């Protein structure tokens, strides 16, 4: 496979991640802009996610990561730019939304809602959905089916959110800060679940500000700072001559600050 060269992106001009055009692009974001009042959250972001890859969106707090992926998933309407998911505009074409599963940062369920109840309630929103019991078994939640949301561990909650995101048997899954707040064992377990998803052919758009997570999971990634892409490539390309990913990331994001 031809891998893209690291693109250290200038602060002005077009910003695109180089990809092999023969690949099947499942998410295409071009010159995306989004402001909240006078706060510009996303300022001209472009990237493509290729079918079957784990694509990372990395960056410091407030960089615009969540806004970017929420626009990509059709949950927010961009001010300008284009988003295509599986060739369609997710903001205006509801048919594509069922093909995208979303686990959002800070997601919560009612504290007394039980695991199986949550699965059944969310499943009822889909015209066709995956078998809820199979999903519970697949994601290690079968024995917790009667447990209330508030009584689940952090890792179990994240597994439940992944299972909920998979109800529509999506081709693309958006995972936003999946492992924030989890202990090291639960993080590693969650990473292995992401790899399982990828092995099943699901394309993953992964938001993180954890360097080790990006390095372990992502095939390619963009680093965002101040609403702009400051670098794009594979983790190895991003690391470049730096001793480790963290040093590369700090240098890229400090330069952009
Ligand atoms: N609904 C909103 N209203 C006003 N400002 C917002 C809103 N959502 C996000 N912002 C602001 O837009 C900027 C980008 O936010 P966003 O959540 O996209 O960044 P992020 O990179 O995901 O941050 P974090 O890592 O902290 O979650 C931040 O300055 C944030 O405060």
Residue pLDDT, tens place only, 144-193: 999 999 999 888 888 899 899 999 999 999 998 888 877 888 888 888 88
Does residue 232 fall inside a structural domain? yes
> Is there an atom of ligand 1 within 6 Å of 62 CB?
yes
Q: What is the CA(41)–ligand 1 centre distance, in A?
A: 6
Does residue 62 fall inside a structural domain? yes
Instruction: Write the CATH number for 248.
Output: 3.40.50.300
Question: Which residue range forms the structural domain that includes residue 35?
Answer: 7-99+170-256
What's the confidence (pLDDT) of residue 58?
94
Residue pLDDT, tens place only, 138-158: 888 999 999 999 999 888 888
Q: What is the CA(219)–ligand 1 centre distance, in A?
A: 25
pLDDT of 125 > 90? The answer is no
Does residue 152 fall inside a structural domain? no
Does residue 153 fall inside a structural domain? no
Q: What is the CA(66)–ligand 1 centre distance, in A?
A: 7
Does residue 71 fall inside a structural domain? yes
Q: What is the CA(117)–ligand 1 centre distance, in A?
A: 31
What's the confidence (pLDDT) of residue 21?
52
What's the confidence (pLDDT) of residue 218?
95
> Is there an atom of ligand 1 within 6 Å of 209 CB?
yes
Residue carrying structure tokens 């970017």: 68
Does residue 105 fall inside a structural domain? no
Strand 80-85 to 25-36 pairing? antiparallel
Residue pLDDT, tens place only, 65-102: 999 999 999 889 999 999 999 999 998 888 888 889 98
Does residue 115 fall inside a structural domain? no
Q: What is the CA(10)–ligand 1 centre distance, in A?
A: 22
What's the confidence (pLDDT) of residue 108?
84
Split at pLDDT 50, 70, 90, the class of 17 is: very low
> Is there an atom of ligand 1 within 6 Å of 64 CB?
yes
Task: Please state the pTM of the whole predicted model.
Answer: 0.87
* Torsion angle defined by CA atoms of residues 98, 201, 231 and 46, in that order, rounded to the nearest 10 degrees: -30
pLDDT, average across residues 241-256: 80
> Is there an atom of ligand 1 within 6 Å of 202 CB?
no
Ligand 1, atom 2, lies closest to the CA of 36
pLDDT, average across residues 17-44: 85
- What is the rounded distance in angstroms from the CA atom of residue 31 to the CA atom of residue 227? 11
Pocket test for ligand 1, best of 38, 45, 58, 67 (most atoms within 8 A of CB): 67
Better-predicted residue by pLDDT, 64 or 253? 64
Q: Render the burial of 192-206: b for 16+ CB within 10 Å, e for the rest.
A: ebbeebbeeebbbbb
Does residue 68 fall inside a structural domain? yes
The number of domains in the chain is: 1
What's the confidence (pLDDT) of residue 1?
36
Looking at residue 73, what DSSP letter applies? T
Of residues 87, 54, 57, 86, the one with CA closest to residue 170: 86
């Amino acid at each position: 496979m031809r891998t893209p060269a690291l693109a250290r992106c200038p602060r002005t001009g077009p910003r695109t991640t180089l990809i092999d055009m023969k690949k099947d692009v499942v998410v295409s974001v071009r010159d995306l802009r989004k402001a909240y009042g006078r706060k510009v959250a996303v300022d001209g972001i472009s990237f493509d996610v290729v079918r079957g890859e784990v694509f990372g969106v990395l960056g410091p707090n407030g960089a615009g990561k969540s806004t970017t992926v929420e626009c990509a998933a059709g949950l927010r309407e961009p001010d300008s730019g284009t988003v295509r998911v599986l060739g369609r505009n997710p903001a205006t074409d509801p048919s594509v939304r069922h093909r995208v599963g979303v686990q959002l940062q800070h997601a919560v369920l009612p504290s007394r809602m039980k695991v199986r109840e949550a699965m059944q309630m969310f499943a009822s929103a889909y015209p066709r959905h995956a078998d809820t019991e199979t999903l519970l078994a697949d994601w290690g939640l079968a024995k917790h089916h009667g447990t209330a949301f508030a009584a689940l561990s952090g890792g179990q909650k994240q597994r439940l959110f992944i299972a909920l995101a998979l109800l529509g048997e999506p081709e693309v899954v958006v995972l936003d800060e999946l492992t924030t707040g989890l202990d090291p064992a639960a993080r590693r377990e969650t990473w292995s679940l992401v790899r399982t998803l990828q092995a099943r052919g699901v394309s993953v758009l992964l938001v993180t500000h954890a360097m080790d997570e990006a390095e372990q999971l992502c095939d390619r990634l963009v680093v965002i700072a101040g609403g702009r892409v400051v670098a794009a490539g594979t983790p190895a390309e991003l690391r470049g001559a730096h001793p480790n990913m963290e040093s590369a990331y700090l240098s890229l994001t400090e330069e952009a600050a």
